[in-house]
Chain A
Amino acid sequence: DGGITQSPKYLFRKEGQNVTLSCEQNLNHDAMYWYRQDPGQGLRLIYYSQIVNDFQKGDIAEGYSVSREKKESFPLTVTSAQKNPTAFYLCASTPARGTEAFFGQGTRLTVV
């Protein structure tokens, strides 16, 4: 079945550590996105990518980094520079002229 897979579902990180969240899609979509969601809040865009080897900063990119070496994969690294990383992270993808954005199940990151 086609879709987007995010892993892990739950992630715990110690302060000062970098951590990488995985996002893989087999939908052959061109565009991929990372969002952060805090409790009771909307989705804020971290990074997005329209093509391989190219990506743009969203509204809250500080403390995060991404790569897009393959069309199917768009991993997000939460660095130690991110002051408040505890949140729910969602990955999405769309075709080039898509009328729907498909989402993964999300990763809940907690800093301990």
Chain B
Amino acid sequence: AQKITQTQPGMFVQEKEAVTLDCTYDTSDPSYGLFWYKQPSSGEMIFLIYQGSYDQQNATEGRYSLNFQKARKSANLVISASQLGDSAMYFCAMREGPGANSKLTFGKGITLSVRP
């Protein structure tokens, strides 16, 4: 079974509007962390936001916020006031457990295109 599921094939949003990128995850570990990364065409991975499984509040970083619904195992990324520079591929990732075998698993990604 996939650990991280990103099913949206591609998203389009008008400049200055908000957009939600979906991510669901699967784990039986009570301790985990969820990440979102942006990958522009240059290939670099840019960290956007992190949510810990025990965090009581949804994470926010500037225009990025994470809609964390633990019972539904979803961690959707919300980008407010989209900019042309937001056009990129976006990846959701999960790190399970604090132990020696903890690993970081990524979803397949979602392509976001911002229209002027």
Interface of A with B (CB < 8 Å)? 31, 33, 35, 41-45, 48, 50-51, 54, 56, 58, 88, 90, 92, 94, 96-97, 99-103, 105-106, 108
Contact = CB atoms under 8 A, between A and B. Distances in A.
Contact of A50 (B35, B102, B108): B102
B98 A96 contact: yes
Contact of B100 (A50, A88, A97, A99): A50
A101 B47 contact: yes
A100 B44 contact: no
7 contacts: A31-B102, A48-B103, A50-B102, A54-B100, A94-B104, A101-B93, A101-B95
A42 B107 contact: yes
Given A99-B50, A106-B44, A45 B105 contact: yes
Interface of B: 6, 33, 35, 37, 43-45, 47, 50, 52, 91, 93, 95, 98, 100-109
Contacts of A105: 43-44
B91 A106 contact: no
B50 A97 contact: no
A41 to B, nearest CB: 6
